[in-house]
Amino acid sequence: MITVNLDVMLARRKMSLTELSERVGVTLANLSVLKTGKAKAVRFSTLDALCRALDCQPGDILEFSGEAEND
């Protein structure tokens, strides 16, 4: 299972979701879906933009755990 730690990175950078949305050019609604872990996919271009805006690595945002997803 992949966990999205976008909220953690936003807190570390003291940045709001709205500010991140403006910086990366992704709608607030789409970032919210990603942040809550409801997204089924993420484009590499979006991940690249997030990493640039948050000055981090993809592994700071995405985390793999061996637990199975309950859908």
- Predicted confidence (pLDDT) per residue in 3-19, tens digit: 999 999 999 999 999 99
Residue of 71, 70, 48 whose CA lies nearest to 62: 48
pLDDT band for 66, please (50, 70, 90 cuts). Answer: confident
How far CA 8 is from CA of 13, 15, 36, in Å, comes to 9, 10, 12
Supply the pTM of this predicted model. 0.88
The count of residues in the chain is 71
Q: Which CATH class is domain 2-64?
A: mainly alpha
pLDDT band for 47, please (50, 70, 90 cuts). Answer: very high
**Cα dihedral: 13, 42, 36, 57 (round 10):** -30
